[in-house]
Structure 1
Amino acid sequence: VASMLPPEAFTVVRKSFDARKLQKEPKFVYTVDMDVRKLLSLEPRTWEFISELDQKAGFIEFLHHESISGDLMSTIRNHRKIDDTASAREVHSNHVTGGYKFPATRRPKVVVVGSGPSGLFASLVLAEVGAEVTLIERGQAVEQRGRDIGALVVRRMLQLESNFCFGEGGAGTWSDGKLVTRIGRNNSSVLTVLKTLVHFGAPCSILVDGKPHLGTDRLVPLLRNFRRYLQELGVTIRFGTRVDDLVVKGEHIVGVKISDSRDQSEACCQKLGCDAVVLAVGHSARDTYHMLLSHNVDVVRKDFAVGLRIEHPQELINSIQYSGLASEVQSGRGKVPVADYQVAEYVNLRDVDTLSKSDSTSRSCYSFCMCPGGQVVLTSTDPSELCINGMSFSRRSSRWANAALVVTVSSKDFDALNLSGPLAGVEFQRTFERKAALMGGGNFVVPVQTATDFLENRLSVTSVPSSSYRLGVKATNLHKLFPVRITEALQHAILMFDKELPGFISNNALLHGVE
Structure 2
Amino acid sequence: MQSRACGFASQQHKCTSPNSATSFRSGSTRNPNGFSFRLPHFSGGVRASNAPISSQIKDIDVAASNRTRVLGGERQKSAAKERTKAGTRRNNSGRKKKRREKETAVTGQFGRGYWRLFNVEIPFEMDPGKDDFSLHESLMDAIALALCCRASRLPRNAFTLVRKSLDARKEPKFVYTVDIDVKSFMESESDASNILSVLKPVPGKYEFSASPRAPLDIIARLENTGAVCCDAEEFDKSSLSENLSKSPSDDFSSSTGRMERKDRRAKVVVVGSGPAGLFAALTLVETGVEVTLLERGQPVEVRGRHIGALVGRKILDPNSNLCYGEGGAGTWSDGKLTTRIGKNSSSVQTVLATLVRFGAPQHILVDGKPHIGTDKLVRILQNLRHYLESHGAKILFGTKMEDLEIKAGRVTGVRVSKTDISAAYEVLEADAVVLGVGHSARDVYETLMSHSVALTAKPFAVGFRIEHPQELINELQYHKFANEVQRGKGRLPVADYKLASDGSSLEVEENDVNDGRSRGCFSFCMCPGGQVVLTSTNPSELCINGMSFSRRSSKWANAALVVSVDPSDFSTFGHRDGPLAGVAFQKAIEQEAARRGGGNFVVPVQTVTDFLDDRLTEGALPTSSYRLGVRAASLHDLLPSDLTISLKNALLNFERQLPGFIDKRALLHGVETRTSAPVRIERDEESFESVSLPGLYPIGEGAGYAGGIVSAAVDGMLVGLALSKTYRNKILLHEVLLET
Match among 400, 409, 426 for residue 270 of structure 1: 426
Residue 417 of structure 2, aligned match among 238, 252, 259 = 259
- Amino acid paired to 1:196: T
Q: Structure 1 residue 151 and structure 2 residue 297: aligned? A: no
Partner AA of 2:218 in structure 1: L
The 8 Å contact of residues 140 and 168 in structure 1, kept in 2 or not, is answered as: yes
2:600 maps to which residue? Answer: 443
Match of 1:16 in 2: 165
Query: Could you say if the C-alpha distance between residues 357 and 67 of structure 1 is closer, same or farther in structure 2, counting changes exceeding 3 Å?
Result: closer
Give the superposition deviation at 1:37.
2.3
What corresponds to 2:353 in structure 1? 195
State the match for 1:291 in structure 2. Answer: 447
Contact 2:515-2:642 at 8 Å conserved across structures? no
Partner of 1:457: 614
Report the equivalent of 2:192: 46
TM (normalized to structure 2)?
A: 0.65
Which residue of structure 1 aligns with residue 328 of structure 2? 170
Name the SS of the counterpart of 1:495 in structure 2: helix
Over 3 Å counting, the alpha-carbon distance change for 1:103 and 1:189 in structure 2 is: closer
Is 1:479 the counterpart of 2:656? The answer is no
Cα deviation digits, residues 113-137 of structure 1 (max 9, x gap): 0000000000000001001100000
Query: Matched residues in 1 for 2:229 and 2:394: separation?
Result: 27
2-structure distance, mates of 1:9, 1:513:
52
Which residue number corresponds to residue 59 of structure 1? 205
Change (3 A) 1:504 1:273: same
Alpha-carbon distance in structure 2 between the residues aligned to 1:103 and 1:374:
49
Change in CA separation of 1:200 and 1:494 when aligned onto 2, cut-off 3 Å: same
- Residues 311 and 219 of structure 1: is their aligned pair in 2 closer, same or farther, counting only changes over 3 Å? same
1:475 is displaced (CA, Å) by 0.6
SS, match of residue 288 in structure 1: helix
Higher mean C-alpha displacement, 432-441 vs 11-20: 11-20
Amino acid at match of 1:309: R
2:647 aligned with 1:501: no
Q: CA-atom RMSD, angstroms?
A: 1.9
Deviations 1:337-390 (A, max 9, x none): 000000000123696337564545210000000000000000000000000000
Contact residue 110 and residue 277 of structure 1 kept, 8 A: yes
User: Partners in 2 of 1:176 and 1:203 — Cα distance?
Assistant: 15
Structure 2 distance, partners of 1:71, 1:503, is: 43
One-letter amino acid of the counterpart of residue 37, structure 1: K
- What CA distance in whole angstroms lies between the structure 1 residues aligned with 2:348 and 2:420? 37
Question: What amino acid sits opposite 2:306 in the alignment?
Answer: D
Q: Which residue of 1 aligns with 2:264?
A: 106
Number of residue pairs the alignment of both structures matches: 494
The amino acid of 2:164's aligned partner reads K
The Cα shift of 1:482 comes to 0.4
Corresponding residue for residue 423 of structure 1 = 580
Q: Deviations over 1:164-222 (max 9, x none)?
A: 00000000000000002223222122111111101110000100000000000000011
Cα contact 2:506–2:649 (8 A) shared by 1:
no
- Cα separation, 1, equivalents of 2:610 and 2:189: 65
Is the Cα contact below 8 Å between 2:201 and 2:208 reproduced in 1?
yes
Cα distance in 2, alignment partners of residues 506 and 356 from structure 1:
24
Q: Is the contact made by 1:139 and 1:166 (CA closer than 8 Å) also made in structure 2?
A: yes
Structure of greater Rg: 2
State yes or no: 1:309 paired with 2:458: no
The alignment partner of 1:143 has SS state of helix
Q: Which of 519, 524, 535 is equivalent to 1:379?
A: 535
Q: 1:316: how far off?
A: 0.2
Question: Match for residue 335 of structure 1?
Answer: 491
Q: Is the 8 A contact 1:258 1:270 kept in 2?
A: yes
Q: 1 CA distance for matches of 2:629 and 2:471?
A: 23
1:406 to 562, 569, 574: 562
| Equivalent residues of 1:347, 1:365 under 8 A apart | yes
Matched, 1:221 2:370: no
CA shift at 1:427, angstroms?
A: 0.5
**Comparing 246-255 with 51-60, which one deviates more in the overlay?**
51-60
- Asked if the contact 2:228–2:286 (Cα under 8 Å) also holds between the matched residues in 1, the reply is no
1:11 aligns to what SS in structure 2? strand
Q: How far apart, in 2, do the equivalents of 1:500 and 1:147 lie? A: 41
Name the CA shift for 1:334/1:278 in 2 (closer, same or farther; >3 Å): same
Q: Distance in 2 between matches of 1:162 and 1:492?
A: 38
Structure-2 separation of matches of 1:231 and 1:460: 53
How far apart, in 2, do the equivalents of 1:356 and 1:347 lie?
12
User: Match of 2:223?
Assistant: 77
Offset from partner CA, 1:251-281 (integer Å, 9 cap, x none): 2111100001235xx5322111111100011
Aligned to 2:434, the other structure's residue is in SS state strand
How far apart, CA to CA, are the structure 2 residues paired with 1:352 and 1:154? 47
The farther-off stretch of 339-348 and 396-405 is 339-348
- Partners of 1:488 and 1:103 in 2: how far apart? 57
Which whole-Å CA distance do the structure 2 matches of 1:350 and 1:326 have between them? 30
SS in 1 for 2:187: helix
In 2: Cα distance, 1:314 partner to 1:137 partner:
36
Provide the rounded CA distance (Å) in 1 between the counterparts of 2:349 and 2:614.
47
CA drift at 1:412:
1.6
Deviation at 1:84, TM superposition (A): 9.2
SS for the counterpart of 1:148 is: helix
Indicate how the Cα distance of structure 1 residues 478 and 70 shifts in structure 2: closer, same or farther if over 3 A, else same. Answer: same
1:339-350 aligned within 5 A: 339-348=495-504
Could you list the runs of 5+ residues in structure 1 that have no partner in the other structure?
86-101
8 Å CA contact retained: 2:293, 2:395: yes
Post-superposition offset of 1:45: 0.4
Distance in 2 separating the partners of 1:74 and 1:125: 11
Q: TM-score scaled to structure 1, two decimals?
A: 0.93
CA distance in 1, matches of 2:174, 2:581: 46
Shift of 1:46: 2.0
- The letter of the residue matching 2:590 is E
The alignment partner of 2:191 has SS state of helix
In the TM superposition, what whole-angstrom CA distance separates every residue of 1:477-512 from its partner, at most 9, and x where no partner exists? Answer: 102310111111111100110111111001100000
Relative to structure 1, the CA distance from residue 259 to residue 122 in structure 2 (aligned partners, 3 Å threshold; closer, same or farther) is: same
Letter in 2 for 1:6: P
1:385, 1:403 → 2: CA distance?
A: 20
C-alpha separation between the residues in 2 aligned to 1:84 and 1:203?
A: 29
Indicate conservation of the 8 Å contact 2:606/2:617, yes or no.
Answer: no
Q: Which residue identity does 1:11 align to in structure 2?
A: T
- CA–CA distance in structure 1, aligned partners of residues 531 and 435 of structure 2: 31
When residues 81 and 455 of structure 1 are mapped into structure 2, their CA distance, relative to the original with a 3 A threshold, is closer
The structural deviation recorded for 1:335 is 1.2
Relative to structure 1, the CA distance from residue 82 to residue 330 in structure 2 (aligned partners, 3 Å threshold; closer, same or farther) is: closer
1:310-351 CA-partner distances (Å, limit 9, x unpaired): 000000000000001100001101111000000000123696
Q: Partner letter of residue 304 of structure 2?
A: G
CA separation of 1:326 and 1:512: change in aligned 2, threshold 3 A: same
**How many percent identity over aligned positions?**
59
Give 1:383-394 correspondences, 5 Å limit.
383-394=539-550
1:19 Cα offset (Å): 1.6
1:502 partner amino acid: P
Question: Structure 2 residue aligned with 1:318, among 474, 491, 494?
Answer: 474
Q: Which runs of 5+ in 2 are unaligned?
A: 1-148, 232-259, 673-740
* Correspondence for 2:526: 370
Change (3 A) 1:32 1:483: same
Q: Which residue of 1 aligns with 2:277?
A: 119
Q: Would the aligned equivalents of 2:400 and 2:418 in 1 still touch at CA under 8 Å?
A: yes
Q: Residues 43 and 443 (structure 1 numbering): CA distance in 2 closer, same or farther, change over 3 Å?
A: same
Quote the offset at 1:296 in angstroms. Answer: 0.5
Partners of 2:498 and 2:460 lie apart in 1 by 18
Question: 1 CA distance for matches of 2:595 and 2:432?
Answer: 42
1:59 Cα deviation from its structure 2 partner: 2.3
